[in-house]
Amino acid sequence: MMNVKKSQVLRNVSEVPSVLAFSQTAPDAGDFGGSIRILLRWKGSIYKKIWKDLLVYYGLYYLITIIHNYVLDEDGKIAFGALAKYCLKNSNSINVMIMLTFFTTTAMHRLFAMQTMIPGTAKVITYFVLSLKPNLPEGPIIVEQFARWTVLAWILTFRTVSKPLRSMFPDIISLQVAGIVKEKERLLLERVETEQNKTPRALMVIDWMLLLMKDCSIQNRFSEKSNYIKVVEVVMTFKKGCGNTIKFATNNMPYALIQAVIIVVYTYGFVTLMARNVEEASTCTFVEVIVNYVPVVPSMQFFVFLVWLDFGRVAVNPFGTDDDDIDVPLLFKTHVQDCFRLANLYSQDFEQIFGPLPQ
Amino acid sequence: MMNVKKSQVLRNVSEVPSVLAFSQTAPDAGDFGGSIRILLRWKGSIYKKIWKDLLVYYGLYYLITIIHNYVLDEDGKIAFGALAKYCLKNSNSINVMIMLTFFTTTAMHRLFAMQTMIPGTAKVITYFVLSLKPNLPEGPIIVEQFARWTVLAWILTFRTVSKPLRSMFPDIISLQVAGIVKEKERLLLERVETEQNKTPRALMVIDWMLLLMKDCSIQNRFSEKSNYIKVVEVVMTFKKGCGNTIKFATNNMPYALIQAVIIVVYTYGFVTLMARNVEEASTCTFVEVIVNYVPVVPSMQFFVFLVWLDFGRVAVNPFGTDDDDIDVPLLFKTHVQDCFRLANLYSQDFEQIFGPLPQ
Amino acid sequence: MMNVKKSQVLRNVSEVPSVLAFSQTAPDAGDFGGSIRILLRWKGSIYKKIWKDLLVYYGLYYLITIIHNYVLDEDGKIAFGALAKYCLKNSNSINVMIMLTFFTTTAMHRLFAMQTMIPGTAKVITYFVLSLKPNLPEGPIIVEQFARWTVLAWILTFRTVSKPLRSMFPDIISLQVAGIVKEKERLLLERVETEQNKTPRALMVIDWMLLLMKDCSIQNRFSEKSNYIKVVEVVMTFKKGCGNTIKFATNNMPYALIQAVIIVVYTYGFVTLMARNVEEASTCTFVEVIVNYVPVVPSMQFFVFLVWLDFGRVAVNPFGTDDDDIDVPLLFKTHVQDCFRLANLYSQDFEQIFGPLPQ
Amino acid sequence: MMNVKKSQVLRNVSEVPSVLAFSQTAPDAGDFGGSIRILLRWKGSIYKKIWKDLLVYYGLYYLITIIHNYVLDEDGKIAFGALAKYCLKNSNSINVMIMLTFFTTTAMHRLFAMQTMIPGTAKVITYFVLSLKPNLPEGPIIVEQFARWTVLAWILTFRTVSKPLRSMFPDIISLQVAGIVKEKERLLLERVETEQNKTPRALMVIDWMLLLMKDCSIQNRFSEKSNYIKVVEVVMTFKKGCGNTIKFATNNMPYALIQAVIIVVYTYGFVTLMARNVEEASTCTFVEVIVNYVPVVPSMQFFVFLVWLDFGRVAVNPFGTDDDDIDVPLLFKTHVQDCFRLANLYSQDFEQIFGPLPQ
Amino acid sequence: MMNVKKSQVLRNVSEVPSVLAFSQTAPDAGDFGGSIRILLRWKGSIYKKIWKDLLVYYGLYYLITIIHNYVLDEDGKIAFGALAKYCLKNSNSINVMIMLTFFTTTAMHRLFAMQTMIPGTAKVITYFVLSLKPNLPEGPIIVEQFARWTVLAWILTFRTVSKPLRSMFPDIISLQVAGIVKEKERLLLERVETEQNKTPRALMVIDWMLLLMKDCSIQNRFSEKSNYIKVVEVVMTFKKGCGNTIKFATNNMPYALIQAVIIVVYTYGFVTLMARNVEEASTCTFVEVIVNYVPVVPSMQFFVFLVWLDFGRVAVNPFGTDDDDIDVPLLFKTHVQDCFRLANLYSQDFEQIFGPLPQ
């Protein structure tokens, strides 16, 4: 049996879906209080994401203002004004916008497509459990082994794409300690993905599952013969899901595009730092103060771009540790729990729970 | 039997689809009267959505006009004019537009994708009912139980995402009162989603359904053996639909993006309040009146943005109480009615209704 | 047998697909004559759609020109010039464009998605006909009944969304007159969708189909037992298609959005009426004439917007009487014809038509 | 046997996929030579598409220049300058761009969706061939007939949408001459699609296929009984594909939209002819020459729009004779070849080709 | 047995998925170091892609500066200034942007659609292996042959679209040398795709697979009769995948569009070379230096366009040798390895690996 460490597997009550839903569902759109509550939220908020950049930006902004007002001489001020005007002309925000829209839309398009292909363990296990003959003496053991291997294939797949899961299970030994892998299986697994045998480990485990099913078919353990090929189909879909997950993570957006977007956004930020209408400012003290000390409009634009960029980059790598990332360790716990529960279906009996049906 | 409270379950005649369709279908595009009728409609209209914002906006607008005309002295007026000009230059509406397009398109893309995955109870129940052997003595009871559990799983899923349904059924007792849950089942359900057993309740109910089907298979109640695995497949699809619904509601658009869009739109609104061409206005009394008192064009832009934002936010949380939201309680009533009707299919007889077929 | 009124069901030769295709296929892109032919076409053309708006627009335009030239005094002309300039500045067509693109794209996205889900009767009937045992004495009657009910469910579904079909069959009696409903069935149908029994009528008919199939299964009329559950699946898909059609028609684009788009486009139209460069015009008689009497460029823009808006609105309600709408009554005739033909497949014999196969 | 005329059916070696692929695959992006080779290609190139328009455009451009320089008097020149300035202001290319993007994207979206639904004959034939009992004496004849009818249904479908195929087979007699239709079948086919019997011909042929399959089922010719309903399913999918192809071709983009886009693009072209900065040009001889005789930038924009428009229009009607169109006659030849080959599978024997398997 | 040359088939450890994933997964978005690491990466980077263009661009830029400053006389400078101003006005970057967005989005849309249709060999082989009766004496040979043919069909398909694979296997002999084709098969393959027999080679191989399966069905080698038609379905899906791959590669984006985009981007580049604000520059030495020697902003725009163009062109031809291309030879090695492993499943025994199950 899997003796996964308690602290690793047991999720807190705050992680039960319905509780999560209470706290995570967005408030109604028509609700004014809802808008306020959304704006005041800190977790995963725009403020949390950009407060550091904000500090740096405003620091630099005031530094430039101070240099202009107190450091530069007349000539310097003229050069400064000319440069500021030049920057103002070239701070074309629409292009940055179109580029960001393209980048983020593409990244999210991929992400959504991937989310529908992510492999789940529940369907595979349920299918296998329910397609076996009931009351086989070796049934519970087979079912436990199959369910454990399904979870194992899932872990070996997500270990390659998710850093948090990788630090949870840095090697096969750690999986054995957690009871997910048995001694014998560990030895087999350690032989692959090496110089001699380059089979990916997840595929190895799926092969075991197929062999176990072949054995069940030979030993006539399926309640109907045709169930065998149906379960094979479900396992192949699971395998494809695993493959797609790895493909998505390693073969996603071209680096050059991500680099281009980052460079464009930060260059825009630097340009807006300088892009101040010095001439206009000098016509009126009130506006001068605003231009020099309250750069709300240009900075807001830049910060919106930063958030947008961040949004796209999270979509490029959704298995990391960002606030909006998919919480792979939580997902792992859910899969382990499901796997226990579904394997139990084999030995559970309807009448034991609800009593005999009235005739 | 489910003795759901009449007032809860019985939908009004005005909720029957065909009647709804008469009143909700959009008029023909080519029809001039149709355009007028669309513009004059109040329910779910742009006017209903924004009249409060409109009042506040115009109030502030006139306040600023009054301050400028009667409160400010000459210096103040110059500062005001400079600030107004500064605002006018920075009120870049295209960027707001592109951002809103992105936000709303993304939110709606998700919503549409979700709508095709929303679970329905009718298919599951029909499949189960029709795949059993006819005329089993325990048949009607089994069918009733299965249909009720399907609806129960549906409710437990949508309770987590829809506030209106949550206030309809705040706890398991309320479900028992409505006859959807039996005493024994309530006790079992109350044991999960607690600190000791964190299985989500909907999954628990689906496990019961699977156990009931396993029992039917063992007792040889399916009219064909292979029906068993087919019904399992339909139930697994239903389960996936439930899971997707919760995933959609809890893991939708990043908060930071919603915040960013709200901040951008309202900042744009505040900037347009100030962004008036004071200089131009002063050249001609007629235009001065328009600029100061009839800000149709700038305000219209802002209100279009508000409607658009609202549209996107409704798409982010489609299970709430907004006018365009999915009416989950009505959906619930429909599912309960369907469940009754379809369970009846088991004991209904073609010949009883239409008489024997002529040979 | 269905004795649908001749004039209702028989489609003209010009409605046979291949003839339609000849006349409706767009000419080749590279063909110059093709472009001309496209531009000269009247049916469903841009000219037909907007000639009335064009008349009103030009009427108003010349009226304003006349007022400016012959009615206004010097002060009035100055105010007019100022207002015209103000309008010119605020006639931002890009925003209207982005908004229209969003609206129309979204509406069409939905429409395309719906078109792939629209239910067809042919598949259901063919499946049922071919899965029965051949040469049953009661076969032709069963097949005729099933085919008729399929068409009936289709009609009852599309009656709720399509006005033209609704005026073709205003009530159940009219369906009985057309031979689509029998006396007994009419009585049953009239009992639903009332205060006491709110089951939608189409669902009622689908229930009859399921009962008929259950009866066939019990009486062992399917050539293979497993055909039963397969036909159930096809019927369930048909039912889902019906449900999706109604869902699409009643739960489409929010009213507020349609209102917003209409308001924005017409406001833009009114603004362009005034938005004339009076100053520039006064510098040169030639340009003055153009500005005052040949507003090709601004009006063209507006009319393109009108066409675009119309396009989006047709996509919102594709079952109406607009030129580009889906012709539901024609579709109905096609389904009735198909239903006759496919039900005949049951009693038709390959050898009767083509003679015995050479051995 | 089909004795299709050699010249019609035999494709040249240059039409074999792998040879096509060698010549049609786009060069590598990183390859500089590749860019040059792409730019120098004539077939299907931008130059081929627009050289005629280019000639007309430059002709008109120089004509206007000549009129300005040598024909107009001083007053005329002033009017010309004013008109040119007016045109320059109103040549808003962004709107044309957004509109074209919308039109082309929508057209291509439809095209791509259609391409995945286009019916193929190979799957239907393979399925039928392999699901029959081997070694039936009448097998080869049945298989040949079924394969021929599948191709016939395909042709009758694509004849309605593709002009080239229509001129290849103008009537049923021409199909009989090509050996695709037999005498008896021709007589049957000529009776439909007339005033008395409006069944589309393709549906008639599919009915024959279904009857043949029913006959095979009755005569117990399927190697497994359940194969029958599976082949029915494949044939229904094929039928749906045929229907979708016709639907796509006859019910595509609204004419009004195509007209609007054509009008907008050509109006833009005419406006750019006049839109020259006469004032600026007069300040410097060098620029004057460029403005008057080398209108590279404005004309390029217009030609890009032309290409884009052309691209969209090809997507609207992809079955024509444009360079980028689907080559329906080639497709037809491929289907005929495939049909021969696959029908042969029935009588071919593995051991005849590869000898007996070593035991 | 396949004796593929070691160097060809054995992938390096650095090509094992999990190792690839470690190095290729994008860093977390929130991680500041991650941004830096992304920006500093060389492989597949923006720098690698554009450094040559960068050199040429800056060379030309300085050349023009030098010509202006040291070569031109006063008249020339005036003409230069006028031309520069003319270019500045006409360097409309938004249009280039919209066009690029359209091109790249369309190319990527196609690419993503294709990626989901790319054929894989694993599913076909697994299905066939597991649907055979276990322990047939000829089993291992049949399984090996089938697996080898699947890989062969895959290679013959991808040879037509991927240059790298084509240079790996320039002819059928090279495939025989690698052990993928046997003598007899080579002779058969060399007879097709010639003037006499134009069947594509991949289809030929798939025919062999179908014949082998037919033979297995006749010889009663499937563990269940119904498995036969299921494997046929999987093979047909594989065949469709092969066809789609070729269709995608040969029938992708129209050449004219690619040409148009390349011409537009490079013309934009040339225009920005000249588009310098000479007048403004002369007002202030500091700005003059920037305008003449540090064209960061205009050049950055152009380089972003170049990257974007490159991105789109890689998407048009994803089987080439670009950095972001699909690595077809690596894919080939993976398929060969998988094919070995899966064919082994036939003779592998669960109990041999894990011992007998405890009862």
Q: Answer whether residue D314 shows pLDDT above 90.
A: no
Task: Report, as an integer, the average pLDDT of B338-343.
Answer: 88
The pLDDT-based confidence of A6 (bands split at 50, 70, 90) is: very low
The four Cα atoms C323, C324, C329, C330 give a dihedral, to 10 degrees, of 100
* Higher per-residue pLDDT: D79 or C137: C137
Q: Answer whether residue C10 shows pLDDT above 50.
A: no
Cβ-count burial D226-264 (b if 16+ within 10 Å, e if not)? ebbbbbbbbbbbbbbbbbbbbbbbbebbbbbbbbbbbbb
Which residue among D198, D226, D262 sits closest to C224, beta carbon to beta carbon?
D226
pLDDT of residue B105: 85
- Suggest the residue from E138, E255, E305 to mutate for an interface test with chain D (most D CBs closer than 10 A): E255
The pLDDT-based confidence of E101 (bands split at 50, 70, 90) is: confident
pLDDT of residue B232: 93
Structure tokens at A253: 């957006």
Place of tokens 């869902």: C247
Residues C23-72 have pLDDT tens digits of 555 555 555 666 777 788 777 788 888 888 888 888 888 888 888 888 88
CA-nearest of B99, D256, B26 to C258 is B26
Task: Report, as an integer, the average pLDDT of E153-178.
Answer: 90
Q: How far is the C-alpha of A303 from the C-alpha of A61, rounded, in Å?
A: 14
Segment among A340-344, D284-288, D305-309, E171-175 with least mean pLDDT: D284-288
Task: Kindly give, in sequence order, each residue whose CB lies less than 8 Å from that of residue B26, ignoring residues fewer than 6 positions away.
Answer: B34, B38, C252, C253, C258, C313, C316, C317
Q: How far is the C-alpha of B103 from the C-alpha of A101, rounded, in Å?
A: 10
Segment among A178-182, B74-78, B140-144 with least mean pLDDT: B74-78
Q: Answer whether residue D46 shows pLDDT above 60.
A: yes
CA-nearest of E331, E353, E337, E17 to A193 is E17
C92: left (phi over 0), alpha (psi -120 to 50) or beta: beta
Q: How far is the C-alpha of B268 from the C-alpha of B270, rounded, in Å?
A: 5
Average pLDDT, chain E: 81
pLDDT of residue C205: 93
Check if B226 contacts C (Cβ < 8 Å).
yes
Q: How far is the C-alpha of B177 from the C-alpha of E174, rounded, in Å?
A: 77
Cα angle, residue E61 at apex, residues E56 and E63 outer, rounded to 5°: 95
Q: Answer whether residue C281 shows pLDDT above 80.
A: no
Cα angle, residue C185 at apex, residues C184 and C187 outer, rounded to 5°: 70
Restricting to E residues 152-211, those with a Cβ less than 8 Å away from any Cβ of D are 159-161, 163, 184, 188, 193-195, 198-201, 203, 207-208, 210-211
pLDDT of residue D156: 92
CA-nearest of B318, E323, B95 to C95 is B95
Restricting to C residues 107-146, those with a Cβ less than 8 Å away from any Cβ of B are 109-110, 113, 137-138, 141-142
The pLDDT-based confidence of D147 (bands split at 50, 70, 90) is: very high
Distance linking the first and last C-alpha atoms of chain C: 38
Q: Are E311 and E46 in contact (CB under 8 A)?
A: no
Residues B190-249 have pLDDT tens digits of 888 776 677 888 999 999 999 999 999 999 999 988 899 999 999 999 999 998 888 877
pLDDT of residue E26: 55
Q: How far is the C-alpha of B250 from the C-alpha of B264, rounded, in Å?
A: 24
**Chain C residues closer than 8 Å to B307 by CB:** 256-257, 260
Which residue among B82, B194, B215 sits closest to A283, beta carbon to beta carbon?
B82
Give chains near A: 3+ CB pairs under 8 A.
Answer: B, E
Q: Answer whether residue E325 shows pLDDT above 90.
A: no
Task: Report, as an integer, the average pLDDT of A21-46.
Answer: 67
The pLDDT-based confidence of E126 (bands split at 50, 70, 90) is: very high
Q: How far is CA C199 from the centre of its chain?
A: 26
**Which range, A142-151, A239-248, B348-357, D265-274, is most confident?**
A142-151
How many helices (H) and strands (E) chain E has is answered by: 19, 0
Quickly list DSSP for E277-308: -HHHHHT-HHHHHHHHH--HHHHHHHHHHHHH
* Residue B145: Cβ within 10 Å count: 19
Residues C289-329 have pLDDT tens digits of 776 777 776 777 788 888 888 888 888 878 877 777 788 88
pLDDT of residue C163: 86
E-assigned strand segments in C167-237: none
The pLDDT-based confidence of D211 (bands split at 50, 70, 90) is: very high
Q: Residues B129, B131, B132, B135: is their CA dihedral positive or negative?
A: positive
* Angle in degrees, 0-180, between the axes of helices D93-115 and D227-250, rounded to the nearest 10: 160
Average pLDDT, chain A: 81
Q: Are A44 and B256 in contact (CB under 8 A)?
A: yes
Residues B54-111 have pLDDT tens digits of 888 888 888 888 888 888 888 888 888 888 877 777 776 677 788 888 888 888 877 8
Restricting to E residues 285-314, those with a Cβ less than 8 Å away from any Cβ of D are 310, 313-314
Q: Which SS3 state, helix, strand or coil, does residue A253 take? A: coil
Q: Answer whether residue C6 shows pLDDT above 50.
A: no
Q: Are B179 and B4 in contact (CB under 8 A)?
A: yes
- Count of CB pairs separated by less than 8 Å, C with D: 218
| ipTM entry | 0.87
Q: Are D24 and E250 in contact (CB under 8 A)?
A: yes
* Residue D51: Cβ within 10 Å count: 12
Give chains near E: 3+ CB pairs under 8 A.
Answer: A, D
CA B292 → CA B58, B267, B275, C147, C274, distances in Å? 11, 20, 11, 69, 19
Q: Which SS3 state, helix, strand or coil, does residue B222 take? A: strand
Q: Residues B34, B36, B38, B43: is their CA dihedral positive or negative?
A: negative
Average pLDDT, chain B: 81
* Residue B237: Cβ within 10 Å count: 16
Which sequence spans correspond to the domains of chain C?
48-116+253-316, 122-251+328-347
Q: How far is the C-alpha of C120 from the C-alpha of D244, rounded, in Å?
A: 12
CB contact under 8 A, C21 and D250: yes
Q: How far is the C-alpha of A184 from the C-alpha of A145, rounded, in Å?
A: 13
Q: Answer whether residue C211 shows pLDDT above 90.
A: yes
Quickly list DSSP for C222-240: BSSTTHHHHHHHHHHHHHH
Closest chain D residue by Cα to residue C324: D254
Restricting to C residues 20-79, those with a Cβ less than 8 Å away from any Cβ of D are 20-22, 24-30, 35, 38-39, 41, 43-49
CB contact under 8 A, E349 and A239: no
Q: How far is the C-alpha of B217 from the C-alpha of B223, rounded, in Å?
A: 10
Return the percentage of chain D with pLDDT > 90, whole number: 19
Q: Answer whether residue A212 shows pLDDT above 90.
A: yes
* Residue B228: Cβ within 10 Å count: 23
